Structure formats: C-alpha cells, structure tokens
Amino acid sequence: MNKLAKRAWFALALAGVLLLGMGVIVVRYFIDSPDWVTFQNSPHVYTDGVMNSGKIVDRGGTVVLDATNGKSYADSASLRRSMLHLLGDREGNITPFLLQEYGSELVGFDRINGTYSTGKREGQMALTVSADVQRTALAALDGRKGTVGVYNYKTGEILCAVSSPTYDPDDVPDVEGNPETYEGVYVNRFLACYLYAWLRLQARHGCGRARRDPGYPLPHVHLRGQRRHRRRDHPVQRRARHAEL
C-alpha cells in the first residue's frame, strides 16, 4: 500500500496544473479585465451600441460628452465638430478613441466591484484638452484638411488635438455626396501624424529605442486628467498613467 500511496501523487499533479492555471487566470483578470469589460458587445456597459454611463469634461470642466443616458455631445456645434475625432460619432464611422482608451473608467469599473453599481458611481473623466483651444484651432484651419496638435512638452499633456475635415455628429452631413469636402473625414489626422512620426523614428533608430531614449523629440503624450467620482466630495487623486497614443 505504501508503494501505491507514493504513486497516488501522480493524481495530485493534475491538481497542480489546475492551481497553476487558476493563477494565470487571476493574473490575466487583474491585467486585462478593463479591456474585457469594455468589449463592444457588453450589455453591462453599452445600450444599443452606445456606452451607457460616464461623463467626459475638458480641462475647464465643460462637458464634451455625457454617456449617462445615451450619448449626448456638447451643446455647442463648433465644439462637437472640434471633438469629433476624439469622441467618435453615433454611427461608428469614426473610432471613439477616448472611449476605447478610458472606457473602463468611464463606466465606473474597478477590479474589485466590476461594473456593480448603485447608480452613483459613474465615472467622470477630465481631459487635458481645452474646449476653447479646440474650437479656436478648428476655426483657424478654416476648412483646410490637416491637424493641429498642441502639447506641453514637459508633462506630455495634450492641450489641443483637432483633425479636419470634420462634421457635427448631431447634424451629420451628406459625406458621400460631397467627396471633395469630406475627403478623409473618418481619419483622425492627429493620431495618423503621431503614428507616422513614431514609425519614422523607429525605422531610423531601431524598434523600441525611440520609446526609451528621452532625447528623441517624440514625447509620451496623454489626454486624461484626473478621474473623479460623482458621489465623492473631493476628486480622487490617482496616479497619472500615461497613455501612449
């Protein structure tokens, strides 16, 4: 029987595999769950394909998107046009970059409570961009095709990221009928320029080196300011995590 008892450990090896796998699952949960929860088809986060909670405000506190009850853009048409390539449109033609990048925070997700909410935990995210600067930059472009990007080179904070041509998501024009006016309207030229410069640097100096060497001119930039929860009296101080565009 002793011999048999020793061999019985073979059965325990399977339990070891199970434990090892569960460890992997837990690690993946803590790393990837913010991405899992904002999956496009999640009924916990989206209603009719639209993120159903959270607010985005500019650095001055102006609401640029309120997703609490459906997707509501800013009141000002010029602001809606200037923010289109950051917030996306209703039809899904333009990728809502901000919602993709910070969606899990907007819906009030955290790894402890998931999306469980009492209706008071919708996230509110403050951007580093300024609504006034966005509008001014778009006006300065005056219908020309291009982009305006302004950032603080010391902190990486983006102050302005406008792409043109653009349109009002609450008053969608006939894009197909005016191909010259709206040529490349679905492209975020700011991101495209940034990525192009990034790839050029990588090609010139070797993959990954530009990221490590602070001497290169391409900075880490980010659009997110401090995150706030409505039910708290004071903004929650959180460690700023740079989002790489």
Partner 1 sequence: MAGISFQPSELVKLCFLYVGASTMDRIVTKRNLFLFIVYSAAICGCLALMNDFGTALIFFVAFLVIAFLRSGSFATVTLACAATGFAGVLAVRFRPHILRRFATWGHAWEYASAGGYQQTRAMMCIASGGLFGLGAGNGWLKYVFAADTDLVFAFLCEEWGLIIGLSAVAVIVILAVFTVRSAKVGRSSFYTIAACAAVAILTIQTILNVFGTMDLLPLTGVTFPFLSNGGSSMLASWGLIAFLKAADTRPERQLRGPHRKGRGGGAA
Residues forming the site for partner 1 (CB under 8 A)? 1-5, 7-12, 14-15, 17-19, 21-22, 24-26, 28-29, 32-34, 36-37, 39, 41-45, 109-116
Q: How far is the CB of 11 from partner 1 (least distance, A)?
A: 4
- Comparing CB distances to partner 1, the nearer of 41 and 237 is 41
The least distance separating partner 1 from the CB of residue 29, rounded to whole angstroms, comes to 6
Contact 38, 107 (CB under 8 A): yes
- Min dist CB 132 to partner 1, Å, is 37
Of 208, 197, 193, which is closest to residue 85 (Cα–Cα)?
193
Shortest gap between Cβ of 105 and partner 1 (angstroms)? 14
Looking at the Cβ atoms of 30 and 196, the one nearer to partner 1 is: 30
Minimum CB distance to partner 1 smaller for 9 or for 153 = 9
Nearer to partner 1, 10 or 153 (CB): 10
Q: How far is the CB of 68 from partner 1 (least distance, A)?
A: 18
**Would you say 17 or 197 has its CB closer to partner 1?**
17
Which helix (H) or strand (E) segment is 31 a member of? helix 9-37
CA atoms of 17 and 155, how far apart (whole Å): 46
DSSP class of residue 152 equals -
The dihedral through the CA atoms of 237, 104, 153, 150 has a sign that is negative
Radius of gyration of the chain measured on its C-alpha atoms: 23
Q: How many Cβ atoms are within 10 Å of 34's Cβ, its own excluded?
A: 16
Beta bridge partners of 228: 124
Is residue 57 helix, strand or coil? strand
